[in-house]
Amino acid sequence: MESFNGIDLDAARRVAGNGFYYLMGDIARLHSAVISYARDFMINRGFTYCVPPFMIRSNVVTGVMSFAEMDAMMYKIEGEDLYLIGTSEHSMIGKFIGQTLEKDQVPQTLTSYSPCFRKEKGAHGIEERGVYRIHQFEKQEMIVVCEPEESKEWYDKLWKNTVDLFRSMDIPVRTLECCSGDLADLKVKSVDVEAWSPRQQKYFEVGSCSNLGDAQARRLGIRIKGENGSYFAHTLNNTVVAPPRMLIAFLENNLQADGSVRIPEVLQPYMGGNKEITPKNK
């Protein structure tokens, strides 16, 4: 990124401290292009686009995650019952708090854009200086609220959306199912989507897909009205794409011998028709 004059970590450190960044020029444009492409990709797969609130109340936070997760991740707004979101799935699921949906209103399939804010405490070795673990990033997300018997099928559809998206940008990916002992509270099943890093010669996480069964619905009171009364819905979430982390995979896998980066055909309309970006510094 620095070879493209595309990132300024030193200035961000002076302004906000560690864990922040300025993205500049072609890299900033690439960042926005990926988000826009991911938005349209999900709309074309039948999801409704949404820009949600970027702050949520404590009753929503405790409805979608455990207190331990909340304390480790979320920034509290001093003097108010509001938290900055760590991921937009929280405000998206919160949209249905206390609601009873008619059977013809489900499934609810939404894709959302938002900035995300996370404490991300601690050092992380080689990635500490870069953009792998940061306090602020942007993300395209997807969530589903559905009938209980349909959640398994939706789970498979959701992670496949992310795999298809990354492969359309010529980024090799794999999925890694999380064992039950490694699942966060409330999750029934979860799979990580991992992209290949040529630099590190290993895969690294770029997204996570989870089926939460009726755990969030029970806490938030999200029900479906059936013929014989109401029952709790099932909820699922999945990362579509989360730059700037995914930019690591994008830049490494599309890097050319002369230091330029190839722009895959699907992204070219979002990059002004450009087929590559060239370094400013060598």
Check if the beta carbon of residue 193 is closer than 8 Å to that of residue 173: yes
pTM, 2 dp = 0.92
Q: pLDDT tens, 90-100?
A: 999 999 999 99
Q: pLDDT tens, 9-35?
A: 999 999 998 889 999 999 999 999 999
Q: What is the C-alpha separation between 260 and 248, in angstroms, rounded?
A: 14
At residue 211, does pLDDT exceed 80? yes
Mean pLDDT across 114-127: 67
At residue 43, does pLDDT exceed 70? yes
Residue 158: partners with Cβ closer than 8 Å, 6 or more residues away: 142, 144, 209, 236, 237, 238
Q: Using DSSP bridges, classify how beta strands 100-102 and 223-226 pair: parallel, antiparallel or unpaired.
A: parallel
Q: What is the C-alpha separation between 72 and 191, in angstroms, rounded?
A: 21
Return the active site residues.
118, 133, 205, 208, 245
Check if the beta carbon of residue 186 is closer than 8 Å to that of residue 215: yes
Q: pLDDT tens, 260-276?
A: 999 999 999 999 999 99
Q: What is the C-alpha separation between 141 and 39, in angstroms, rounded?
A: 9
Q: In the CATH hierarchy, which fold is given to the domain comprising 48-261?
A: BirA Bifunctional Protein; domain 2 (3.30.930)
Amino acid found at 58:
S
At residue 127, does pLDDT exceed 70? no
pLDDT at 125: 42
SS3 217: helix
Q: What is the domain partition of the chain in residue ranges?
A: 48-261
| Number of other CB atoms surrounding residue 268 within 10 Å | 15
Q: Map 223-245 to HEC letters.
A: EEEECCEEEECEEEEEEEECCCH
Phi, psi of 191 (to 5 degrees): -135, 135
To the nearest whole number, what is the mean pLDDT of the chain? 91
pLDDT at 129: 58
pLDDT at 227: 87
Q: What is the C-alpha separation between 107 and 114, in angstroms, rounded?
A: 22
